[in-house]
Amino acid sequence: MFAELSEEHIKYREKVRKFAEDVVAPKAAEIDESGEFSWDTFKKMAEFGLLGVPFPKEYGGAGLDDLSYAIAVEEISRVCGSTGVTLAAHVSLGTYPIYDYGTEEQKRRYLIPLAKGEHIGSFGLTEPNTGSDAAATETTAKLVGDKWVINGTKRFITSGAIADTIVFTASQDRSKGAHGISAFIVEKGTPGFSSGKDENKLGLRGSVTSELVFEDCTIPKENLLGKEYEGFKIFMHTLDSGRISIGAMGLGIAQGALDASIKYAKERTHSGKPLLKYQLIQKLIADMATEIEAARHLVYHAARLKGMGKNITKEGAIAKLYASEMAMRVSTKAIQIHGSHGLTKEYPVERFLRDAKLLEIGEGTSEIQRIVIARQILGK
Ligand code: CAA
């Protein structure tokens, strides 16, 4: 099944799967039910080296490639979407932009503890009034003396309230739209920076989703990330890769739903025969497996291209779009196979369905992915 992977990637998958089953899976239903973040799981992911998979060892990372990272997100999400999104948001969104755009000093100060998992990273783009239209950022940044003064609110920020380091966008000149936006780094505890309410969500309930508030928050001049007025591009480039990790989450959730369905269909009997013996059930399973395999090729292809340093705007969006919509279809079929049992919390498949829904929204809705793909093919 994984014939296209190297021996190292196959071994890495086995290692992460064992970690996911031993450490992450036992808490998945509990954190979904309580809506509580598991600090213990985060700490164990850090010890395992998951929180810095694609970053060089000299910066505290595991020194592996982007495909290994996609496999890690897939395997964690196969048992727990909440833990999968915590990992994906930390690595792809909170840490990657510092690796890609940070100065050497910023890398030493922020990247190393993030990649080691000593700190949690987060990415503040979305605002109460601007989600899909990211260029309409209302948060402002003004340079006063040698400090940036930030005002505004971010919303729906994964790990926002628990993060130590947050990269975020703010506009220096709102009349310039996307070209007026710069990117910055803020540390937890900075005066004028606080977190507001934590969202009570449909799915991914064991992950934290917060409001972030800047009220005359002052940060040092050197906390600009990249160049002035380049923040929109930095964030779009970051999302190109982040979308691969959302695709990997879709892959993992769908695989988890398929595995649970096969187990159920082997054990459950109908008129004296296991469900698996019925061709209509076999059709559902064949369709689920086919779609998962197609998504796996798209996600791994995009991850490989990223590792080669290619532009992946189109491939990242395609991988995310297909894998997230596929995860919805597959988890719906998984509930169908389970019948009434699938609607209860005795089985994981209703959780997979709720968790999959976020994937069609976070890091750009399916509608935004279609716009991005069409623009890549047709031009703007
Ligand atoms: N890489 C680099 N530069 C890019 C880029 C990319 N992928 N995409 C656009 N740009 C550049 C453009 O080239 C353009 O620059 P020039 O004018 O110099 O050529 C500039 O950025 C502006 O681009 P557009 O004119 O295309 O911008 P737009 O306003 O039309 O918007 C959009 C484009 C695709 C709709 C964009 O706004 C978008 O992706 N929106 C969705 C935002 C999103 O995904 N939000 C998710 C939030 S994060 C999240 O959910 C995380 C979480 O915690 C779960």
Tens-place pLDDT, residues 24-55: 999 999 999 999 999 999 999 999 999 999 99
Which of 233, 315, 365, 376 to mutate to test ligand 1, by most ligand atoms within 8 A of the CB atom? 233
The pLDDT of residue 1 is 42
Give 175 Cα–ligand 1 centroid separation in angstroms. Answer: 17
Answer whether residue 3 shows pLDDT above 90: no
* pLDDT tens track for 338-355: 999 999 999 999 999 999
Give 266 Cα–ligand 1 centroid separation in angstroms. Answer: 46
Average confidence score pLDDT of the chain: 97
Give 249 Cα–ligand 1 centroid separation in angstroms. Answer: 22
For the beta carbon of residue 24, count every other beta carbon within 10 angstroms.
26
Answer whether residue 2 shows pLDDT above 70: no
Which of 176, 199, 236, 371 to mutate to test ligand 1, by most ligand atoms within 8 A of the CB atom? 236
Is-catalytic flag, 267?
no
Give 157 Cα–ligand 1 centroid separation in angstroms. Answer: 17
* pLDDT tens track for 153-188: 999 999 999 999 999 999 999 999 999 999 999 999
Question: What percent of the chain lies above the pLDDT cut of 70?
Answer: 99
The pLDDT of residue 292 is 98
Name which residue sits closest to atom 21 of ligand 1, judged by CA: 233
* pLDDT tens track for 113-126: 999 999 999 999 99
* pLDDT tens track for 126-147: 999 999 999 999 999 999 999 9
The pLDDT of residue 204 is 98
Name which residue sits closest to atom 48 of ligand 1, judged by CA: 363
The pLDDT of residue 4 is 77
Q: Which residues line ligand 1 (CB under 6 A)?
A: 89, 93, 123, 125-126, 132-135, 157-158, 178, 232-233, 236-237, 239-240, 313, 362-364, 368, 371-372
Question: What percent of the chain lies above the pLDDT cut of 90?
Answer: 98
Tokens at 245, concatenated: 């990790």
Contact 363/242 with Cβ under 8 angstroms? yes
Give 242 Cα–ligand 1 centroid separation in angstroms. Answer: 13
DSSP string, 332-380: HHHHHHHGGGGGSTTSTHHHHHHHHHHHTTTTS-HHHHHHHHHHHHH--
Contact 327/253 with Cβ under 8 angstroms? yes
Answer whether residue 305 shows pLDDT above 50: yes
* Catalytic pick among 74, 75, 325, 363: 363
Q: What are phi and psi of 241, to 5 degrees?
A: -80, -40
Q: State which ligand 1 atom lies nearest to the alpha carbon of 372.
A: 34
Alpha carbons within 13 A on the beta-carbon side of 161:
14
What pTM does this model have? 0.97
Question: Hey, what amino acid is at 295?
Answer: A
Question: Hey, what amino acid is at 357?
Answer: K
Confidence of residue 196 (pLDDT cuts 50, 70, 90): confident
Q: State which ligand 1 atom lies nearest to the alpha carbon of 134.
A: 37
